[in-house]
Structure 1
Amino acid sequence: MADESRDRLRRRVVAALAAGMTVAAGLSVRSVLGGDLAKYAGDALYALLIFWLVLVVAPRSRAWVAAAVAFGVSVTVELFQLTGVPAELGAHSTLARLVLGTTFNAPDLPFYALGAVLGWALHRAAGEIRSARRRRRAAHSR
């Protein structure tokens, strides 16, 4: 049981570090890129951040589940913008504006999907690397 707890903790720490790197990338993208490129990169990074946060909360989740949740949450927040509530909150809070946005923009939706798929692909690639390392260690210990 201790190994399982350590594994969950390791997964949470890795996901939290990835989330931190994603936030840094999101904050940097606006200073490096401009216009639509920065905006849509930010959309993809928003979904990617949610992907990592799902894995922080539920570290044993399958990557496709985390990707589906990330996309679903992103679309839900985007649709919530149609109510005007996020714009009102954003007028009084920078944090609300960053998290909820202010206005609905349908072209954001495919970029949320891109961010969720990117999370799935990165998670899968990391798993492949871990598996290859285990196979090499097992081969050397024989």
Structure 2
Amino acid sequence: MLRPWLAVPVVLACGLGVRAFTGGDFAKYAGVALYATLIYALVAFWLRPLPAALVATGFSWAIEFFQLTGIPADLSARSTLAHLVLGSTFNAPDLVWYVVGAALGVVIVQARGGRPIWGRDLRERP
């Protein structure tokens, strides 16, 4: 079982690995889905699964729509980190894949009986 402090780096490594070692549409959309899973992992310790999925989806959508302003593209041209976090261009199908990624987080939590796979549910009292 993964510990809480490993959840984010593991999901991040999976996303970067998919992008580095695969190609085409699979790499793009798996990376997009794992982005939302990463956001889910960040908030799932404080929220129940459905609210965490809604926050992850909403945050991911906000970043995607922010790309319509051109600001992320400008920042991405100057910084690899900005490119990884903000992306550069709006792509409507990404909106669906963010839902898939957040749902993946929910499925993992529900498969473990409501407890995050990456560690103890911090909402539980010791």
TM-score scaled by length of structure 1? 0.75
Contact 2:109 2:115 in 1 (8 A): no
Larger Rg: 1
Say which SS state the counterpart of residue 113 (structure 2) adopts: helix
In 1, Cα distance between equivalents of 2:84 and 2:43 = 19
Give the 3 Å change call, closer, same or farther, for CA 71–129 of structure 1 in structure 2: closer
Correspondence for 2:49 among 45, 54, 63: 63
Q: In structure 2, which of residues 62, 68, 75 is the aligned counterpart of residue 89 of structure 1? A: 75
Superposed CA deviations along residues 101-134 of structure 1, whole A, max 9, x for unmatched, are 000000111100000000011111123589xxxx
Larger proportion of helix: 1
Structure 2 equivalent of residue 140 of structure 1? none
Query: Given residue 124 of structure 1, which amino acid in structure 2 is its aligned partner?
Result: Q
Alpha-carbon spacing, 1:72–1:103, altered in 2? closer, same or farther (3 Å): same
* Alignment-mate amino acid for residue 107 of structure 1: P
Given candidates 30, 44, 64, the residue that maps to 2:19 is 30
Give 1:73's aligned residue.
59
Give me the identity figure in percent: 54
RMSD of the TM alignment (CA)? 1.8
For the 8 Å contact 1:29–1:42, the answer to whether it is kept is yes
Matching residue of 1:40: 29
Deviates more, 1:104-113 or 1:118-127: 118-127
For the residues of structure 2 that align with 1:126 and 1:80, how far apart are their CA atoms? 35
Task: Compare 119-128 and 75-84 and name the one that shifted more.
Answer: 119-128
Higher relative contact order (CA 8 A, sep 6+): 2
Q: Secondary structure at the match of 1:119?
A: helix
Task: Look up the equivalent residue of 2:91 and give its one-letter code.
Answer: N
* TM-score, length basis structure 2: 0.84
**How many Å separate the matches in 2 of 1:105 and 1:46?**
14
Aligned-partner residue type, residue 50 of structure 1? I
Displacement over 4 Å in runs of 4+? none
Q: Structure 1 pair 127/36, CA: closer, same or farther in 2 (3 Å)?
A: same
Structure 2 residue matching 1:127: 3-state secondary structure: coil
